[in-house]
Amino acid sequence: MKYKIFVDGSEGTTGLMINERLANRNDLHILKIDSDKRKDINERKKYINDADIVFLCLPDVAAKEAVSLIENPDTKVIDASTAHRTNIDWAYGLPELSAEHRTKIKNSSRVAVPGCYATGFISIMYPLVAGGIVPKDYPVTTFGISGYSGGGKKRIAEYEDPNGNPFESPQLYSLGLTHKHIPEMTVISSLNSAPLFSPIISAYFKGMSVCVPLHTRLLSGSNTKESIHEYMQNYYSSEKYIKVMPLGCENDYPNGFLGATRVNNTNYLEIYVVGNNEQIMLVSVLDNLGKGSSGAAIQNMNIMLGIEEDFAL
């Protein structure tokens, strides 16, 4: 039996990447809506209710509308929008966080794919808060840089404009400190207040780094760079896609620099622990279109269907 899959919103960046990843799967039947009917609500409703798994690659309002169209109790949803990421009735699609997260994904018919920046942040912060190292009331700051593909079709068009790209340098954005990933970063990490988050977009296509600096004097107990590295390494020791890199390995990279494109075209996320014993920084590196979106979506689908989690990834 082939599972029936429908991608609602297949013309966007995430939808295109999901379709590309699904194209060579012989265990799936991809339902294709006519391009001139992809915004026809009745046609979409038909495809949604005929599918075993529906990927929602839509704006938040449209994603909520799509969920409201479901009448088939066997239809499962994987939502790549921000609409349901803090909804307790939905599973949060970062299975590496805990056995409970993975089990909830497996048993759920509703899964929210994490945001790309949120994936990088939460993969660092969740274990530290869960382990009592970072207090829930810690004044967390974080910053990150991403390729322009994270901005969606409009931003990609601006950066790839053949008549001249006006963005000559990396661009700070979301200067009102209200980035759309902040709610899930706060809630999923169990922080008492929102982190101060500064994102940066740069003139390369994809790849992302997310940085979380910490003052050891504000942490719980006695912590060093070495002890935090050991804790994180143990936390993710059984995971395939989240890897805590050897302490100091960044010194062997060209010029000692840590680039944001190291794991492009994969579903991997690397975590580095750098700094000194007064100020420690944890850095995650991921493909914002891989583990940060389409790769995570496929990983969640595999778990929901009860097949090997890393199949075709």
The single-letter DSSP state of residue 36 is G
The single-letter DSSP state of residue 219 is S
3-state percent helix, strand, coil for the chain, nearest multiple of 5: 35, 20, 40
The answer to whether residue 116 is catalytic is yes
Contact 150, 180 (CB under 8 A): no
Contact 96, 242 (CB under 8 A): yes
What region does 39 belong to: left with phi over 0, alpha with psi -120 to 50, or beta?
alpha
Give the separation between CA 140 and CA 117, rounded to whole angstroms: 15
Helices (H), the chain: 13-22, 41-50, 60-68, 99-107, 116-130, 152-159, 182-189, 225-235, 295-305
Token readout for 125 is 């912060």
Phi, psi at 299, each rounded to 5°: -60, -45
* Residue 41 CB partners (closer than 8 Å, separation 6+): 65, 69
Query: Taking the C-alpha atoms of 174, 180, 182 and 185 in order, what is their torsion angle to the nearest 10 degrees?
Result: -140
Smallest CA-to-CA distance from 55 within 89, 16, 85, 94 is with 16
Burial zone of 132 (CB within 10 Å; 0-12 exposed, 13-18 middle, 19+ buried) = exposed
Give the separation between CA 288 and CA 271, rounded to whole angstroms: 15
Known catalytic residues are 116
